[in-house]
């Protein structure tokens, strides 16, 4: 039997195999972030499909860090009963669940949070939301750090097995870590050590609030692909080493921050028509030009984070490493695991298409995902419809 079906641990959490459901925003929560039946069914199906570890889609830690749409909320105790249902549904079928904790920072809009978005620094209008963000005051930074801690407490009360801190995707923690977004000259910027300070404090605060035995993992951007230099692989490796020293239980990397770096984060098709068609009339021409200019530039290229992974994995020693991005063939994943290039393999789009893919792999009924990386699933969530595969047969 392939190494991928051997159990392994992340911290003290034993996972039945090496397959991880990569965080995938589902656009299925209530408007206020409470868990719905649809979410419970989705996670139950994934667990029945034999995924070992399910990392949830983004869960918002603070109302000012919300995104437009229907993301899961973990910013108030009222959310705990729904999150508990989610954890129970996953556990019932033998999988483990880590909740992905996120503060959106500048990558949101006034409609979503009721005021000007917060950021480390003022960096011109966000290319997608076209709005400016306001530099955070010291006490707002401290409030955000506490919010991550309180979210971790709620995850523990809900019975989750761990939390996965999003320092990726261009959101708040990514912004603080990035020399492009973080132009502060106070104790939170100006040097790599200072830019890392918020991460250090978030990791400590989250750890303090987790129940014993729960895991703390991080998703880190390895490359921002911003117009001027942001996080690059060597800097990400430096941060990864510091995170390992702080005792994180596993690390996953991503590439690109969504609204600045085109399609680097997922690669593949740019579904221009689907992305534009339901936008308000005044937004259509600009959006069409923007997406059209990206089409054909991010061809799908297999496991596209592997090169960055080699550098970053070397920096974290024995800390388990989760590889995500473009993994489609079982034999390829096996080779990666056997060579020790990753301890876990994470899948997002393939599990949107086939939530039972891991079971199919184990039973010898599939050798590869049938996902064609058309990214029409992404267009669905942009328009606030529930996540689903839109390719034919999906």
Ligand X SMILES: Cc1cc2nc3c(=O)[nH]c(=O)nc-3n(C[C@H](O)[C@H](O)[C@H](O)COP(=O)(O)O)c2cc1C
Q: How far is CA 361 from CA 53, 55, 177, in A?
A: 16, 20, 38
The nearest distance, CB 21 to ligand X, in angstroms, is 9
**136: exposed, middle or buried (C-beta count within 10 Å: 0-12, 13-18, 19+)?**
buried
Joined together, the tokens standing for residue 217 give: 């993992």
Using CB under 6 A as the binding rule, whether residue 57 contacts ligand X is answered as yes
Joined together, the tokens standing for residue 223 give: 């490359």
The nearest distance, CB 92 to ligand X, in angstroms, is 23
- Pick the binder of ligand X from 53, 254, 276, 322 (CB under 6 A): 254
Contact 101, 152 (CB under 8 A): yes
Using CB under 6 A as the binding rule, whether residue 381 contacts ligand X is answered as yes
Using CB under 6 A as the binding rule, whether residue 58 contacts ligand X is answered as yes
Residues 177-236 interacting with ligand X (rule: CB under 6 A): 219
Residues that bind ligand X (rule: CB under 6 A) add up to a total of 26
Q: Alpha-carbon distance 356 to 361, whole Å?
A: 9
- Contact segment (CB under 6 A) with ligand X among 2-10, 77-85, 313-321, 376-384 equals 376-384
Using CB under 6 A as the binding rule, whether residue 347 contacts ligand X is answered as yes
- Pick the binder of ligand X from 8, 19, 25, 249 (CB under 6 A): 25
Helix (H) or strand (E) holding 376: helix 376-382
Q: Report CA 269 to chain centroid distance, whole Å.
A: 20
Using CB under 6 A as the binding rule, whether residue 324 contacts ligand X is answered as yes
Select 173 or 188, whichever has its Cβ closest to ligand X: 173
Nearest to 290 by CA among 99, 130, 84: 130
Q: Alpha-carbon distance 320 to 251, whole Å?
A: 7
- Contact segment (CB under 6 A) with ligand X among 60-68, 122-130, 136-144, 346-354 equals 346-354
Using CB under 6 A as the binding rule, whether residue 325 contacts ligand X is answered as yes
- Pick the binder of ligand X from 168, 182, 217, 261 (CB under 6 A): 168
- Pick the binder of ligand X from 36, 100, 109, 223 (CB under 6 A): 100
**39: exposed, middle or buried (C-beta count within 10 Å: 0-12, 13-18, 19+)?**
buried
Select 100 or 178, whichever has its Cβ closest to ligand X: 100
Using CB under 6 A as the binding rule, whether residue 266 contacts ligand X is answered as yes
The DSSP symbol for 329 reads B
The nearest distance, CB 265 to ligand X, in angstroms, is 6
Could you count the other beta carbons within 10 Å of the beta carbon of residue 304? 21
- Contact segment (CB under 6 A) with ligand X among 17-25, 78-86, 106-114, 124-132 equals 17-25
Q: Alpha-carbon distance 127 to 125, whole Å?
A: 6
Using CB under 6 A as the binding rule, whether residue 18 contacts ligand X is answered as no
- Pick the binder of ligand X from 13, 15, 23, 235 (CB under 6 A): 23
Cross-strand partners of 162: 98, 215
Q: Alpha-carbon distance 297 to 64, whole Å?
A: 34
- Pick the binder of ligand X from 348, 355, 357, 374 (CB under 6 A): 348
The DSSP symbol for 129 reads T
> Which residues bind to ligand X, rule: CB under 6 A?
22-25, 57-58, 100, 166, 168-169, 219, 254, 265-266, 324-327, 347-350, 377-378, 381, 387
């Amino acid at each position: 039997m392939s190494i991928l079906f051997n159990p392994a641990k992340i911290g003290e959490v034993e996972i039945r195999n090496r397959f991880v459901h990569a965080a995938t925003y589902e656009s299925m929560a209530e408007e206020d972030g409470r868990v719905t039946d649809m979410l419970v069914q989705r996670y139950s199906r994934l667990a029945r499909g034999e995924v070992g570890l399910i990392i949830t889609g983004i869960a918002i830690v603070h109302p000012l860090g919300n995104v437009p749409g229907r993301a899961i909320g973990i910013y108030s105790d009222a959310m705990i009963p729904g999150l508990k249902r989610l954890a129970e549904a996953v556990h019932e079928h033998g999988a483990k669940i880590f909740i992905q904790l996120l503060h959106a920072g500048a990558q949101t809009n006034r409609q979503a949070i009721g005021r000007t978005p917060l950021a480390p620094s003022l960096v011109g209008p966000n290319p997608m939301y076209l709005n400016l963000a306001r530099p955070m005051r010291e006490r707002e930074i401290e409030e955000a750090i506490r919010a991550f801690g309180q979210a971790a407490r709620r995850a523990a009360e809900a019975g989750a097995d761990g939390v996965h801190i999003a320092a990726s995707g261009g959101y708040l923690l990514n912004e603080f870590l990035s020399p492009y977004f973080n132009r502060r000259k106070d104790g939170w910027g100006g040097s790599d050590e200072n830019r890392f300070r918020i991460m250090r404090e978030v990791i400590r605060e989250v750890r303090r609030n987790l129940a014993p035995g729960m895991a703390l993992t991080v998703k880190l951007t390895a490359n921002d692909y911003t117009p001027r230099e942001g996080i690059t692989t060597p800097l990400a490796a430096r941060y990864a080493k510091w995170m390992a020293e702080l005792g994180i239980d596993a690390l996953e990397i991503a590439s690109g921050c969504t609204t600045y770096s085109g399609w680097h984060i997922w690669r593949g098709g740019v579904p221009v028509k689907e992305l534009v068609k339901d936008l308000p009339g005044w937004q259509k021409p600009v959006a069409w030009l923007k997406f059209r200019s990206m089409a054909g530039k991010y061809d799908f290229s297999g496991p596209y984070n592997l090169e960055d992974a080699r550098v970053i994995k070397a920096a974290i020693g024995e800390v388990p490493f989760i590889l995500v991005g473009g993994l489609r063939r079982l034999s390829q994943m096996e080779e990666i695991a056997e060579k020790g290039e990753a301890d876990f393999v994470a899948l997002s789009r393939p599990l949107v298409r086939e939530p039972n893919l891991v079971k199919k792999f184990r039973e010898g009924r599939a050798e590869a995902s049938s996902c064609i990386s058309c990214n029409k699933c992404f267009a669905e969530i942009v328009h606030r419809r529930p996540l689903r595969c839109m390719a034919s047969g999906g």
